[in-house]
Amino acid sequence: MEETSNQFLGREPVGRLMKKYAVPCIISLLVGALYNIVDQIFIANASYLGSYGNAANTVVFPLTVIALAIAVMIGDGCCAFVSLSLGKGDPDTARKSVGSAVLMTIASSLILCAVYLIFSDAIIAMFGGTVNEETFRHSSEYFFYISLGIPFYMFGQAMNPVIRADGSPKFAMISTLAGAVLNIILDPVFIFVFRWGMMGAAVATVLGQVVTAALAVWYLCHMKLVKPEKADFKPDGAVIRKTLTLGLTSFLSQISLVAAMAAINNMIRKYGAIDSIFGQEQYAQIPMAVVGIVMKFFQIVISIVVGMAAGCIPIVGYNMGAGLSCRVRELFTRLLAAEAAVGAVALVFVEFFPRQLIGIFGAANESSYYTDFALRAFRIYLCMMIFACVNKACFIFLQAMGKAVESTALSMIREIVFGVGFALVLPRFFGLDGVLYSMPVSDILTFAVALFLILRTYRQLGEDSPAAAEPARAGNASL
C-alpha cells in the first residue's frame, strides 16, 4: 500500500483540523460570493444604473448559480472521492478522479457557455427579466459578457475543492482571493470612470475569473499528494459515476436554489404587477432588486456556513474511510454548534440593522418605497437563519460521510418541495409578502426532517467498534 502524507487527518485533534481546513475554505467561498455581490454594490451606487441594474443583476445571478452547481458537483464529488480513496490507501483511484474531474469541467463549461449565448433572450425572460424594458436591456448586456466567462468561472470553482483535497486549502483560498481582488479593483474603474455600465461590471468579473482559473491550472501541474499522470486524464466510467454521485448533493443544493429563485422572480413579477405601488412602471423593478439584495446577504452567510462544512469534507472522508467513527461524531458536534452560532449572529444583523444593510446597496438613490420594502424583506425572509444554517451543514456533512441518498433527499425536500412549493403557493394568499414568508416556512419544516437525520447519524456513529475507536484515542493521546 502506498504511503500518503495526509495521515495526520486521522491523528490531529479535530478542533485543530477544523481551523486548518475550514477557515481557508470559508474565505475562498466568501471571496467567490463577492464576485456577484461586489458587482451589485457598485451597480447600485451608480446613479445611471440604480435599481434597474440591481434588478438585472438579480435576474442573471441564478444563471451563474447553474454554472456553479455543475462545477461544485464535479469539484466536491472529486474532493470527497479523493479523501475517501486516500483514507483507504488507494492513491491510484484518487488520481483518476482528479483527471476525470478536469475533463468533465472543461466539457460541461463549454456546452453551458454555448447554450447561454444561443438562447440568451429566452433564458432571461424565464428568470423574470421582462419586468420592464429597461431591466431587460441591462440583463441582456450583463448576461452576454458573463456567459463568455463561464468556462473560466467553472474551472476555477471546480478545481478549488480538488486543491483542498490535495492538502492545500491556503492555495485554494489565495487563488480565489486573487481573482476577487482584481474584480474589486476593476469594478469602480469600469463602472464609474469608463462608464461601461453593466458591461463594465461583467468584464471585471470575468477577468477575475480568468486569474483564478489560471492559478488552478498552475496548481494541477504541481500537485502534492495526488499527482495525476497523463493516463489519468482518460475518461473512466466507474470513477466518473462515483465522483458525480458524491457530488450530487452539492449540485442539487445549488440547482434547486435556481429553481426556487426562478419561482420567486416570477412570483415577484406577477404579484408586483397587481400591487398598488409596484404595479406602476417606475417602481416595477424594486421588489426584484430588493429580494436580490436580501439573497446576496444570505449568500454571504451561507458562504461561511458551507465553507465550514465543505472544509471538513477531507477530514470526514479520510476518517470515514479509515473507520474512525468517533472522530467523525466529534466533528459533527463541533460543526453543528458553530453553524448555529453563525446563524444567530446573522439573525441579529437582519432583525436589528436592516437599514444599514440596505444602505450598502444604494438605498440613498432610491424612493422610500424601496427602503420600506427592503426593511420588511430582510426581517421576514431571513428570520429563521439559525435553522437555515444548520440545515445546510447537515446536507454537506452527510455528503462527506458518503450518505448521498440521505443528503440528496434532504436537499431536495428543502429546495424543491418546500422552496419552490411555498414560493408558488403562499403569494396566492399573501401577495408579495407570501414570497417573503416562503423562506422561513421552508427552513422550519426542513429542520424537522434534518433533526431526525442528525439524531440517526449520531446513533450510527456511536456504534463504532472498539477496534475502530482505539486508533483515534491513541492518535489524540500522542499529541
Task: Give the pLDDT of residue 464.
Answer: 52
pTM: predicted TM-score of the whole model, two decimal places: 0.75
Task: Give the pLDDT of residue 447.
Answer: 96
Task: Give the pLDDT of residue 299.
Answer: 82
Residue 468, domain member (yes or no): yes
Task: Give the pLDDT of residue 198.
Answer: 95
Q: What angle (nearest 5°) sits at the alpha carbon of residue 307, between those of residues 305 and 312? A: 105
Residue 3, domain member (yes or no): no
Instruction: Write the CA distances from 330 to 34, 165, 394, 458, integer angstroms.
Output: 32, 21, 14, 10
Q: What one-character DSSP code corresponds to residue 192?
A: I
Residue 130, domain member (yes or no): yes
The CA distance from 143 to 113, in Å, is 11
Task: Give the pLDDT of residue 172.
Answer: 87
Residue 324, domain member (yes or no): yes
Task: Give the pLDDT of residue 245.
Answer: 87
Count of structural domains within the chain: 1
Q: Residue 30: which residues within 8 A CB-CB, separation 6 or more? A: 300, 303, 304, 307
State the maximum Cα–Cα separation within the chain, in Å, rounded to a whole number: 71
Residue 132, domain member (yes or no): yes
In tens digits, the chain (479 residues) has pLDDT values of 344 456 788 888 888 888 888 888 788 777 767 776 788 888 888 888 878 888 898 889 889 989 988 998 999 899 889 988 887 888 889 999 999 999 999 999 999 999 999 999 999 998 888 888 899 999 999 999 999 999 999 999 999 989 988 888 889 889 988 998 999 999 999 999 999 999 999 999 999 999 999 999 999 999 988 889 888 999 889 999 999 988 877 787 677 778 888 888 889 988 988 888 898 888 888 898 888 889 888 888 988 998 898 888 888 888 887 888 899 999 999 999 999 999 999 999 999 999 998 888 766 667 788 889 999 999 999 999 999 999 988 988 887 787 878 887 888 898 889 989 999 999 999 989 999 999 999 999 999 999 999 999 999 888 654 444 444 444 443 33
Q: Which three cell numbers stand for residue 412?
A: 431536495
The CA distance from 90 to 79, in Å, is 14
Residue 9, domain member (yes or no): no
Task: Give the pLDDT of residue 24.
Answer: 81
Residue 8, domain member (yes or no): no
Residue the block writes with cell 452539492: 250
Q: Which three cell numbers stand for residue 468?
A: 475502530
Task: Give the pLDDT of residue 469.
Answer: 42
The CA distance from 165 to 76, in Å, is 9
Task: Give the pLDDT of residue 1.
Answer: 38
Task: Give the pLDDT of residue 475.
Answer: 40
The CA distance from 82 to 237, in Å, is 16
> What percent of the chain is helix, strand and coil (3-state, nearest 5)?
85, 0, 15
Residue 50, domain member (yes or no): yes
User: Residue 412 belongs to what domain range?
Assistant: 14-473
Query: Coil, strand, or helix at residue 362?
Result: coil
